[in-house]
Amino acid sequence: MARIGLYKSDVKKARDALISQGNNPSVDAVRVALGNTGSKTTIHKYLKELAAEDGGAGGKRTSISEALQDLVERLAARLEDEAHQRIAAALAVSDTKAAEQAASLQAALNDSAQLRARMLELEDALQEQADKLVASLAEKQRESTERQIAQQHVSDLQQRLAENETHRQSLEEKHLHARQALEHYRQSVKEQRDADIRRHEHQIQQVQAELRLTQQTIAVKQDETTRLNQEGAKLVSELAHTKQSLYEQLTLGRKLEQKVETLQLQQLHTADTERQLASKIAETELLSEQLKDTNMQVRELEISLAHANAKLQAQEQVGEQLRSYFDKIATSSANSGAVR
């Protein structure tokens, strides 16, 4: 069948283009040049007409090869026509079969439409079931998630419980260790306190012994001090008497000196007065010697009194030291009791 719109001029342009390219303008070549469109019979007819036109115009005889080619092309065109006829017959049969198949297809389409409607209903039901399934799966997923969360929470609680149990056991062990340490500390403190008490009692006994010894010493020293005070008082009294006697003797000496002067004045007058004067002088010398002896005794008494005073001060210092020592012992004992 010729292509709609295929003109002789188109075939001529294609043929001339093939000839200009040095190719043989056969029916197939022209058809290819036309884009594989148009009937080969139509193309062969147009080529034949163009060849006739070219032959009438130029009066040129065709060669045998061209005549054979033309014969072949015509045979080919006839074969194509027969093929088209057979194809047309086959197409008619095919159209009949196609109509039958179309009817069958229509029936099948109707059945398919019914099936499609049923399928749509089933799809709707399936979609509804799918939605329910999705909702159920979502609910199941939510429940699974909640169950996993609950399981994780339970696992966390179990872990925390285990940690708390471990911590409780650790605390119990620490408490037990602390109680043991406290008991050991109490025992050691008790032993240390008992040792301190024994040591303190021993120290107290020693201090009491020292105190008794010191009290005895103090009593002895007090007795000695009393005796020394008495001796000192006696010495002071004796010193006072000695001083009084010395004063009297000095007074007497001054009087004797006055008398000596008087006797010396009276010596020229009487021999008795000279004897008395000599006697008085002897007495005065004796008194002078006694006075010297008395002065020596006074100095010895003053030295003894100074020694007694020094000894008394030393004893008082010893007493002060003993009182300070006892005060320190009492303070130490009070501090030890406060610390305990």
| Tens place of pLDDT per residue across the chain (340 aa) | 444 557 888 888 998 898 888 888 888 888 899 888 888 888 888 888 888 887 644 444 445 666 677 677 667 767 876 777 788 788 888 778 878 877 888 887 888 788 878 888 887 887 888 788 888 788 888 888 888 887 887 888 888 888 888 888 888 888 788 778 778 877 877 888 788 778 877 877 886 787 778 778 777 877 877 877 787 677 778 777 777 877 787 787 788 778 767 766 766 776 776 677 677 778 777 877 877 787 787 678 778 778 877 877 887 787 788 778 777 777 776 676 655 5
The residues near 74 (Cβ < 8 Å, ≥ 6 apart) are: 44, 48
SS3 63: coil
Helices 64-267 and 271-339 pack at an angle, to 10 degrees, of 160
Question: How many beta carbons lie within 10 A of that of residue 224, not counting itself?
Answer: 14
Task: Report the distance separating Cα 319 and Cα 7, nearest Å.
Answer: 166
The residues near 44 (Cβ < 8 Å, ≥ 6 apart) are: 27, 73, 74, 76, 77
Task: Report the distance separating Cα 32 and Cα 50, nearest Å.
Answer: 18
Which helix (H) or strand (E) element contains residue 208?
Answer: helix 64-267
The candidate with the shortest Cα–Cα distance to 1, out of 77, 94, 113, 72, is: 77
The candidate with the shortest Cα–Cα distance to 48, out of 22, 66, 29, 21, is: 66
Q: What angle do CA 254, 255, 257 make, to 5 degrees?
A: 65
The confidence score (pLDDT) of residue 66 equals 64
| 234: DSSP letter | H
The residues near 82 (Cβ < 8 Å, ≥ 6 apart) are: none
The type of residue at 237 is S
Task: Report the distance separating Cα 271 and Cα 277, nearest Å.
Answer: 9
The confidence score (pLDDT) of residue 267 equals 61
The confidence score (pLDDT) of residue 58 equals 42
Domain spans in the chain, listed from the N-terminal domain onward: 8-111, 204-339
Task: Report the distance separating Cα 270 and Cα 89, nearest Å.
Answer: 232
The confidence score (pLDDT) of residue 25 equals 86
The confidence score (pLDDT) of residue 337 equals 60
Task: Report the distance separating Cα 64 and Cα 75, nearest Å.
Answer: 16
| 21: DSSP letter | T
Query: Tokens 């399936």 identify what position?
Result: 126
For the purposes of burial, counting CB atoms within 10 Å of the CB of 52, is it exposed (0-12), middle (13-18) or buried (19 or more)? exposed
Task: Report the distance separating Cα 230 and Cα 251, nearest Å.
Answer: 30
Query: Tokens 């008991």 identify what position?
Result: 183
Question: How many beta carbons lie within 10 A of that of residue 102, not counting itself?
Answer: 13
Q: What angle do CA 157, 159, 163 make, to 5 degrees?
A: 110
Task: Report the distance separating Cα 278 and Cα 284, nearest Å.
Answer: 9
SS3 37: coil
DSSP 132-159: HHHHHHHHHHHHHHHHHHHHHHHHHHHH
pTM of structure? 0.24
